[in-house]
Amino acid sequence: MNLENINWQIVAPLIAIQLILMIVGLIDLSKREATKGPKILWVIILVFGSLLGSIAYFTIGRRNDA
């Protein structure tokens, strides 16, 4: 794959969204006392799961304690 042929106007915002969701997810995870599943597993999913890992955490992993 040649880096000169990548359309950075499309790729750069996706990378930025992915990083923002991962950081917000990790901050949220550190502040929560309980999650659905072990916290270390959610850390691994958030860091290595790319965009889908962040979406999974925010839809499945958070426990509503309200």
Confidence bin at 1 (pLDDT 50/70/90): low
Range(s) of the domain holding residue 56: 34-66
Packing angle, helices 39-48 and 8-31, rounded to 10: 170
Has residue 6 been placed in a domain? no
Residues 40 and 36: their CA atoms lie apart, in Å, by 11
What is the number of domains present in the chain? 1
> N- to C-terminal Cα distance for the chain?
49
In a domain, 48, yes or no: yes
- Answer whether residue 29 is part of any domain: no
Is the pLDDT at 66 greater than 60? The verdict is no
| 16 located within any domain | no
The string of pLDDT tens digits covering residues 4-42 is 677 888 888 999 999 999 999 999 999 988 888 899 999
